[in-house]
Structure 1
Amino acid sequence: MKVIVIGTGNMGTAFVKQLTAAGHSVRVTGRDLAKAQALATQYPGVEAVATAGSARDSDVVVLATGYGDAVTALRSVGDISGKPVIDITNPLTADYMGLTIGHETSAAEEISRAIPGAEIVKAFNTLFAQVLADGPAFANGQRGSVFFAGDSAQAKATVKSLIDSLGFQAVDAGGLKNARYLEPLAGLNIYFGYGAGIGTAIAPAWIVK
């Protein structure tokens, strides 16, 4: 697939690494083009591009920014009507120990309302960057789970294919409304990682007997 990654932070970097390893055609963009260029040079075939119009030829858009920057970032890359957009954001408080919205809406739903026409799929928001960068295998032999939720069957199928290509266990979490559950799950994971001091080599998993 042709994938544009918006964001050059830890999650954006992890996506570029894993998508490239899986054989996808990867472009990366961000507010600071120099940072995108520096990231691109680390992986063969990755192209750093300016934000304007950068989503034009992409099959999938990966939104690897903070929630506060999400809408502006998506608007900056051009027309994304009908394109699957992987939303990894969580609406975290400044201390990362709580959520700013929930129960009646979610970050994913708010982004979807702000960018009508884009096919928003919540995914990867429950993974720390370290887990994504290291890949799907855990020391206990389990594969990491990636929960994905969205209202477009076609967009979800595309995102599932991408998750599968990275080797993670894809877990269909239903419609986009269920991002209201996935974002608090990410909050709990962040608490375990930082608040409880366990570290970032952890992730929630869906286990079926």
Structure 2
Amino acid sequence: MKTAIIGIGNMGKGLASRLAGKTDLIVAGRNDQAARSLAESLGVESATIADAIAAAGIVILAVPYASALEIATSPSLSGKIVVDISNPLKPDFSGLLFGHEISAADKIQNAATGAKVVKAFNTIFAELFYASRDATAKVPVFVAGNDEDAVEKVSRLVVDAGFAVEKTGGLDAAKLLEPLGMLNIRLGYGLGRGTAIAPAWINLAV
């Protein structure tokens, strides 16, 4: 199954660098030339956004929330697995536009009629993609989705990208994961911890 990464910003580039050679990958962005250059550097395929969506079975929306919501209205996404990595941030990054009652993933699922939306990668800073795989092998990527097969396929991508899988249940868990992503942003930027951090759960022996 081909995986399309839509978006060639920091997150899109980082994911592409980790998944190149691990899965049948195609990259796309609003700047077609930049997408071609990235694809050539990684030895993967590039296409327009529309063609990438049409060709792929898994579509990773590696773009900000507003752009992801816009792309989610494409009828071509019907029947596909759509991975939402966004956090619905305020323009000044001071908090979330909404949360707890509804999530960005919920809104993307509502817009992407017939698609199987899975939440993942929203608590990971792009810097982690450029660390060694040994360093990130136990860093959890929280995965949420309503379709069991879609969750399994995205979980395999998480492992292919060099991270650990932390399943959190149905897509309703995104209402918890997006505030967690915001906490990570606050710690990293607002409180000076930097972007080489990620949340994790610790099991204690009792």
When normalised by structure 2's length, the TM-score is: 0.93
Cα deviation for residue 142 of structure 1 reads 6.6
**3-state SS of 1:15 partner:** helix
CA distance in 2: counterparts of 1:142 and 1:89, whole angstroms: 22
- Could you tell me which residue of structure 2 aligns to residue 79 of structure 1? 76
Q: How many residues align?
A: 204
> Structure 1 residue aligned with 2:119, among 117, 122, 135?
122
> Structure 1 residue aligned with 2:173, among 171, 175, 178?
178
CA distance in 1: counterparts of 2:125 and 2:5, whole angstroms: 17
Alignment partner of 1:101 is 2:85: no
Cα deviation for residue 166 of structure 1 reads 2.3
Instruction: Provide the aligned C-alpha RMSD in A.
Output: 1.6
Cα deviation for residue 206 of structure 1 reads 2.2
Change (3 A) 1:96 1:10: same
Change (3 A) 1:59 1:105: same
- Could you tell me which residue of structure 2 aligns to residue 67 of structure 1? 65
CA offset digits 1:100-126 (Å, max 9, x no partner): 011210000011001111100000000
Unpaired stretches in structure 2, ≥5 consecutive residues:
none
CA offset digits 1:182-202 (Å, max 9, x no partner): 000000000111001111000
Q: Percent identity?
A: 43
**3-state SS of 2:143 partner:** strand
Query: Structure 1 stretch 179-188 or stretch 157-166: which is displaced more?
Result: 157-166
- Could you tell me which residue of structure 1 aligns to residue 163 of structure 2? 168
Alignment partner of 1:40 is 2:35: no
> Structure 2 residue aligned with 1:154, among 141, 149, 165?
149
Cα deviation for residue 152 of structure 1 reads 0.7
8 Å contact from structure 1 (residues 18, 135) kept in 2:
no
CA distance in 2: counterparts of 1:105 and 1:127, whole angstroms: 21
Alignment partner of 1:189 is 2:187: no
- Could you tell me which residue of structure 1 aligns to residue 13 of structure 2? 13
CA offset digits 1:73-131 (Å, max 9, x no partner): 2445x612221111000000112120001121000001100111110000000000011
CA distance in 1: counterparts of 2:110 and 2:69, whole angstroms: 10
CA distance in 2: counterparts of 1:135 and 1:90, whole angstroms: 25
CA distance in 1: counterparts of 2:193 and 2:131, whole angstroms: 17
Alignment partner of 1:26 is 2:21: no
**3-state SS of 1:53 partner:** helix
8 Å contact from structure 2 (residues 62, 84) kept in 1:
yes
CA distance in 1: counterparts of 2:186 and 2:53, whole angstroms: 34
Alignment partner of 1:112 is 2:122: no
Question: Which amino acid in structure 2 is aligned with residue 86 of structure 1?
Answer: V
Question: Which amino acid in structure 1 is aligned with residue 78 of structure 2?
Answer: S
- Could you tell me which residue of structure 1 aligns to residue 193 of structure 2? 198
CA offset digits 1:2-32 (Å, max 9, x no partner): 11000010000001100014x2111111111
Q: Which of structure 1's runs of 4+ aligned residues deviate more than 6 A?
A: none
8 Å contact from structure 2 (residues 18, 162) kept in 1:
no
Change (3 A) 1:142 1:41: closer
8 Å contact from structure 1 (residues 136, 144) kept in 2:
no
**3-state SS of 2:172 partner:** helix
**3-state SS of 1:37 partner:** helix
